[in-house]
Amino acid sequence: MNTLSYGLLSLLAQSSYSGYDLMLRIQPFWPAKHSQIYPLLAKLEQEDYIRFELVPQRDKPDKKVYSLTGKGQEALKDWFDQPTAEPALRDEMMLKVFCMSYADRESARKMLADRLAYHKEQRRKYEHKLAELKEREGWPEAGLPAPSHPLFGAYLLTRKAIMSNETNTEWCKWVLSLLPEAD
């Protein structure tokens, strides 16, 4: 049982999903490819943390819809009380910034402009997600969801993503302002 396994169980605590769905939904929290997820799901199913139901579809390939077992629910609770690993951020840009004084101005400006565009696009997605959350059934008419609400966690994470996005955007703009365009 590694972190990705628990991540999949966390998603399944909310609702049942196909492997493909899980792969898409886990990306913001723990990037992983389908080639990593499918074998893991098979293993988790064999060890009775999850089970699946084969769902035939018209006009689309059949799918396996996974859900948590009792053992899976217990494993999740136990994991929650274990000490949490420190966050790990790997960003190639940070290495490039470190040696920025040795590169030319235009390259540096382009790198930052690209990152700024990336943040802008991410921001759009987060706002979309927030809007989506607010349209889900059970969302309170006014204010935030209560801590016991199933969407509480998703809301907190979307807010976190937006806050970080704003800070990163601000940093990019600040650095660009220190690198005026050459005439």
Question: Where along the sequence are the contacts to DNA (CB under 7 A)?
Answer: 2-4, 18-21, 24, 31-36, 38-39, 41-42, 57, 59-64, 88, 90
Residue 13 interacts with its own copies (CB under 8 A)?
yes
DSSP helix/strand/coil, 182: coil
| Residue 142 touches its own copies, criterion: CB under 8 A | no
* Cβ–Cβ under 8 Å, residues 59 and 31: no
Picked from DNA, its own copies, none, the partner binding residue 96 (CB below 5 to 8 A depending on kind) is its own copies
Q: Which does 124 bind (CB under 5 to 8 A by kind): DNA, its own copies, none?
A: none
Angle, CA 129 vertex, CA 34 and CA 57 arms, to 5°: 50
| Tokens describing residue 92 | 């190639």
**Any idea what the Cα angle at residue 30 is, between residues 137 and 174, rounded to 5°?**
95
Q: Which is nearer to its own copies, 62 or 81 (CB)?
A: 81
| Stretch 21-40: interaction string toward its own copies, x if CB under 8 A | --------xxx---------
- CA-based radius of gyration for the chain: 21
Interface with its own copies: number of residues (CB under 8 A): 69
